[in-house]
Amino acid sequence: MATVTTPEREAGTETDQCIILDRVDWPDYEAMLRMRGERSSPRIVYLDGRLSLVSPSYRHESLKIHLEYFVAAALSGLGIEFEPAGSTTYRREQKKGGAEGDTSYYIAHRDVVLEKETIDLSVDPPPDLVVEVVVSHDAEDSIEVYRRFGVPEVWIFTRRELLVLILQPDGSYARGDVSIAIPGITAAEVHSWIIRRKGRDIIAWMDDIRRWSAEVVAPRSRGGAT
């Protein structure tokens, strides 16, 4: 029988709702995905028999959307083509894992998946960048799933900081100060842009990001003056 645990709620604030089931086999995980269907919630993470069901809060979704806007504006300012993959479910039975990032992107491998209707990680590359927002539950299981899949870069966004994880040659993740997926952009800068968005017009904010990316980040990433 599966055991159920739920993390403690943060007193006085809206938090993500999370339920964890242990000793869940792969067919049951796939059955859960089928029952949820095309709905966006709950998000489902599976690792070695542990299944997490997460219903995100408004705060979580707001941060996720602003990060999506940031990535799109920054890449646009740099003139880099990309293919957004959203919260696609990436899973492989052989790796005993499945996860759905808050958002994900094909950048270096954009042309490989551009015309595809489905992603099969047994033949297709993983996304070049996955972004996770952490409000009230950790992302350790998701990070391990991405490591097993060979995702080159993962962003973990919290209220305090953005953690950029870069896949190393030995298959482990190490913290980096500068993104590889979006050349020249630092973790601190991303976090600062998201925090500075509060109260600002979203269109003007995105225009500022595009201009900054083109005028500041692009010369920096080419080795020129900022």
> How do the domains of the chain map onto residue ranges?
57-221
Contact predicate 36/44, CB 8 Å: yes
- Residues 51-78: pLDDT tens digits? 999 888 888 899 999 999 999 999 999 9
Residue 129 pairs in a beta bridge with 105, 153
User: For residue 18, what pLDDT is reported?
Assistant: 81
User: For residue 17, what pLDDT is reported?
Assistant: 74
Which residues are within 8 A (CB) of 52 and not within 5 positions of it... i.e. 6 or more apart? Answer: 18, 19, 20, 21, 44, 45, 46, 137, 141
User: For residue 125, what pLDDT is reported?
Assistant: 96
Residue 84 pairs in a beta bridge with 105
- Residues 205-220: pLDDT tens digits? 999 999 999 999 999 8
* CATH 3.90.1570, domain 57-221, yes or no: yes
Can you say how many angstroms the Cα of residue 128 is from the centroid of all Cα atoms in its chain? 10
Contact predicate 217/185, CB 8 Å: yes
Q: Is the pLDDT of residue 137 over 90?
A: no
Q: How many CB atoms lie within 10 A of CB 153?
A: 22
End-to-end CA distance of the chain: 59
Q: Identify the helix (H) or strand (E) that includes residue 154.
A: strand 153-157
CA distance 199 to 166: 32
Mean pLDDT, rounded, for 93-104? 95
Contact predicate 220/226, CB 8 Å: yes
